[in-house]
Amino acid sequence: MTAAEQPVVSIDHLTVRYGRTNAVDGISLDVPPGSVYALLGRNGAGKSTTVRCLLGQWKPSRGRVRLFGRDVWRERASLMARVGVVPERDEIPPAMTVEHLGRFFAALYRSWDQTAYDERLDRFSVPRRHPFVKMSKGQQRQLSLALALATQPELLVLDDPTLGLDAVARRELLEELIGELADRGTTVFVATNDIAGIEGVADRVGILRGGRLLVDDDVETLKRRVRRIRSAEAEAVRLGDTSAEVVASHRVAGGTEIVVRMADAGAEANGLGKDRPQSMSLEEIFVALCGPNGGGAA
C-alpha cells in the first residue's frame, strides 16, 4: 500500500473500559486521505472517548489507533504536529487575546500560517484585543477553528464543533470548514450531534450506539440502502426473499411503519408494504437506528 492509499486514521477493534462498562466496544474503521468522516451518536454513545484515543490522550483497553500508519499512543508527540484539533470544550486560557494566541501558536508550529489566521479572523470579525472569555460562543469556536487550520494540519479532528452555537454560527462554521476542505483537501474526522449540518459535508459516516458501531458506510450509499416502509397490517412485515433487515419498527395510525436496511445499495424493496419505500435523510436514519425502537448490527 502506497502512502497515498494508506488511511490517515485507522481504528482497529478499539475497546475502552470504564470499570465494568465498555464505553467503546470493539469498533474498527478507516478514514482515507482527503475525506471527511463523521462519527455520530447520542450523548454517552462513545464519541468523545473515541476522539481521546484517536488523539493519544487515552490508552485503549484493547485494540489500536494509528495515524498515518503509526501507533498514536506510542508516538503521540511527533504525530500531533500533523494534527489540528477543535476540542469539545475550548481549552484556551480565558485572559488570552487573539494576538497573544497567534504569537503563542506561531512559536509552537513551524507550519504556522499567520496570513491565513489573520484573514479568517477578519472574515468573522473576531476582536483582536478582547480576552477569550469576553467573546461570544460563536467567536470562540471560530477562533478555535482558525488556530487549528493555521497550523496547516494534514488531519483536522473536531469534537462537537457546533456545540452551543446558534443556527447562524453553526452555518458559518460549517461553510468555513467546507471552503477550507475545498482549498486544501484536508482529511477531517468530526464527532458531532449536528447531523443535519454535517450531512452536506461528510463523505462517510459511522453511527455509534452504546459504544458499538452500528454503521460504517458512505453517506450516499447508506441513504440508498435504508428505506422507510408503511404497512397497513399490524403484524411484522414479512421480508420474503428480499435482502432487507428490519432496523426499526413502531406503530402508526393505520398500521406499522418499519425502517429496513438493504444488503445491496442497488436492491429494490418491492412488495414490503402497500406504499412505495421512502428515502430518508441522514438525520432520519440516525433517529431510526438510535431511537428507542431502533437498533441493528453494523
Among 64-68, 150-154, 269-273, which stretch is predicted with the lowest mean pLDDT?
269-273
Q: Look at the alpha carbons of 99, 131, 188, 30 in this order and tell me if their dihedral is positive or negative.
A: positive
For residue 68, give the 3-state DSSP assignment.
coil
Name the class of domain 9-210. Answer: alpha beta
Q: pTM of whole model > 0.85?
A: yes
pLDDT in tens, 221-264: 999 888 888 766 544 455 554 567 777 777 776 677 778 887 76
- Based on its alpha-carbon atoms, the radius of gyration of the chain, rounded to whole angstroms, reads 21
Name the helix (H) or strand (E) containing 51.
helix 47-54
Query: What is the CA 151 to chain-centroid distance, rounded?
Result: 21
Residue spans of alpha helices (H) in 135-227: 137-150, 167-184, 195-198, 219-225
For residue 158, give the 3-state DSSP assignment.
strand
pLDDT at 173: 80
The amino acid at residue 294 is: G
Q: Residue 231 in contact with residue 212, Cβ under 8 Å?
A: no
pLDDT in tens, 8-62: 999 999 999 988 889 999 999 999 999 999 999 998 899 999 999 999 999 999 9
Domain residue extents for the chain: 9-210, 221-290
pLDDT at 137: 86
CA distance 93 to 132: 7
Per DSSP, the residues of 5-49 read TS-SEEEEEEEEEETTEEEEEEEEEEE-TT-EEEEEE-TTSSHHH
pLDDT in tens, 174-202: 877 777 776 677 899 999 988 988 888 89
